[in-house]
Chain A
Amino acid sequence: MTWTWFHRLGSPPYVYTLAARLTPWFAWPAALLIIGGLWGGLVLAPPDYQQGDGFRIIYVHAPSAWMSLMVYTTMAVAAAVGLIWRIKVAHAVAASCAPIGASFTFAALVTGALWGEPMWGTYWEWDPRLTSELILLFLYLGYMGLRAGLEDTQRADRASAVLAVVGVVNVPIIHYSVTWWNSLHQAPSVMRLAKPTVAASMLVPLLMMLLGFTLFFGAVLLVRLRGEVLSRERSASWIREIVKA
């Protein structure tokens, strides 16, 4: 088996054109799945017997929360690859992930708060999942702050990569300590979704949204990656050729 396909991924011009070619393959399925999932979730699925129509926010909330963690993992893996094999493109991927992940985390927090108001009677509850999500937002902001603070791109890449890897070791610890903290301080009075067997008409749109959000992340990542590669390679000759053409 040859590894040329892998080595070529380290070359900025190759990645730049590859990302351009792949973007529609992510963007169109994402658009179709999200439209279909929204139609299924907001129109076709029956209202929940307990929560009425309020539960429908899950179709945005759950995929956002899922993406917030997945993007962080992607970012940390890319950062570790860049740190270990010194691949610049991997650092560019990690740098492109951070704002997307922070946006998904923010979306999960806002939709969670909006969901909490009708369900719990309050916008904010120090619920372990909401709290973990808030901490995750701070981790993203710290990562982006560190990148912004370091002027030299190479140093910013490597320092933020160390931070991302340290963060990945810590995320489970933070999550479990927050869960433990909450179970001690607060009686389980919060009304929450029991785990009923979810009807297929509710579940299928949710799975469509999950897959759609994942592909949407892929498409946005590819677009951001191209921008990141362009700004990093701005003095390279291949970019001058592209601009001329």
Chain B
Amino acid sequence: MSAYGSPATGVAVQAAPVARQAWAGSRQAPMLEAAGLALARDLQLAFRKRGQLVQPLAFFAMVTMLFPLAISPELARLREIAPGVLWAGALLASLLALEFLFRDDAYDGTLEQYALSGQSLTWLIFAKTAAHWLLTGLPLALMAPLAALSLGVSAAAVPGIVASVAVGSVALSLIGSIGAALTLGIKRSGALLSLLTLPLSLPVLIFGARATQLAITGGPLLAPLELLAALAVLGVTLAPLAAAAAVRISLE
């Protein structure tokens, strides 16, 4: 972590004057511009340490591999359990990735600067969560079909699987942002983070697995997909508020 410490602060310093110019230039939507800058910063930082980006994906692939080894290599049986395997894997992988959401920024003081910047912390946290989803949720959604194909699922199910994981992971990232913010500063918080986040994520798991199952069997998957989208929308509206409140509490 320490090796990457300096580029992190470097970008924060660079971003600040740019942001100030932007607010001076146009007073229309400084909140959105600040959020956009925070998003760009997070993406840029993430691409500088690509190794960390690959970890949740590799973890997801590993979890998927466990099931054929533990249960049976028969594709007919694997196809039956594929939705559960995919969603349990996606849930665990996104949980693993949550630890990176605020940790580095809490260590180097960036979160504190965000809170003091006078900008809406809710929007900045939302931007961070959006960046987190782009870096973990979206790649997971793109990787899920590969895992599904390896479990004997036919290629016709691919669009449905991508859609359900993409939409569901939005909700997972948002719910997780609350847990990650609440556990900031707690040492060895991994187990606690999962204890806080998993019960709240169960509706996403239920609807996501159902949508995936319907995609595999060729059924009408619109209803569970819409419920997933509803959870995602609810998350977008409320989760950043709660996460920002939690971040503020951790800085008090």
Contacts and interface: CB of A to CB of B under 8 A. Distances in A.
Contacts of B245: 162
A170 B245 CA distance: 17
**By DSSP majority rule, is chain A's interface helix, strand, loop, or mixed?**
helix
A146 B182 contact: yes
Interface stretch (B100-108, B126-134, B148-156, B194-202): B194-202
Nearest to A160: B182
B196 A155 contact: no
Contacts of A162: 178, 182, 242, 245-246, 249
Contact of A155 (B202, B234, B238, B249): B249
Nearest to B187: A149
B249 A159 contact: yes
B203 interface: yes
Interface residues of A, number: 27
Nearest to A136: B199
Contacts of B252: 154-155, 158
Interface in B46-104: none
Contacts of B196: 142, 145-146, 163
A123 interface: no
B206 A167 contact: no
A159 B182 contact: yes
Contacts of B164: none
B3 interface: no
Nearest to B195: A142
A174 B231 CA distance: 11
B29 interface: no
Given A149-B192, A155-B250, A177 B242 contact: no
A146 B178 CA distance: 12
A49 B227 CA distance: 42
B212 interface: no
Contact of A177 (B185, B189, B207): B207
Interface string A32-67: 000000000000000000000000000000000000
A169 interface: yes
Interface string A132-162: 0001001101100110011000110011001
B233 to A, nearest CB: 13
A145 B192 contact: yes
Interface stretch (A23-31, A90-98, A178-186, A237-245): A178-186
B183 interface: yes
Nearest to A184: B210
B168 to A, nearest CB: 12
Nearest to A135: B199
A211 B13 CA distance: 61
Interface in B134-189: 178, 182-183, 185-186, 189
A160 B252 CA distance: 15
Pick the most buried of B195, B199, B245: most chain A CB atoms within 10 A of its CB: B199
Contacts of B206: 177-178, 180-181
A166 interface: yes
B242 A170 contact: no
Interface string B235-246: 000100010011
B234 to A, nearest CB: 8
A204 interface: no
A162 B238 CA distance: 12
Nearest to A151: B186
A203 B193 CA distance: 43
Contacts of B203: 170, 173-174, 177
Contacts of A174: 199-200, 202-203
Interface string A175-204: 001101100100000000000000000000
22 contacts: A138-B195, A138-B199, A145-B192, A149-B186, A150-B186, A159-B249, A159-B250, A162-B178, A162-B246, A162-B249, A163-B178, A163-B182, A163-B196, A166-B178, A166-B200, A169-B238, A170-B203, A174-B200, A177-B202, A178-B202, A178-B206, A184-B210
Interface of A: 135, 138-139, 141-142, 145-146, 149-150, 154-155, 158-159, 162-163, 165-167, 169-170, 173-174, 177-178, 180-181, 184
Interface of B: 178, 182-183, 185-186, 189, 192, 195-196, 198-200, 202-203, 206-207, 210, 227, 231, 234, 238, 242, 245-246, 249-250, 252
Given A169-B238, A170-B200, 19 more contacts: A138-B195, A138-B198, A146-B183, A146-B196, A154-B252, A155-B249, A155-B250, A159-B246, A159-B249, A162-B249, A163-B182, A165-B242, A166-B242, A173-B231, A173-B234, A174-B200, A174-B202, A177-B206, A181-B210
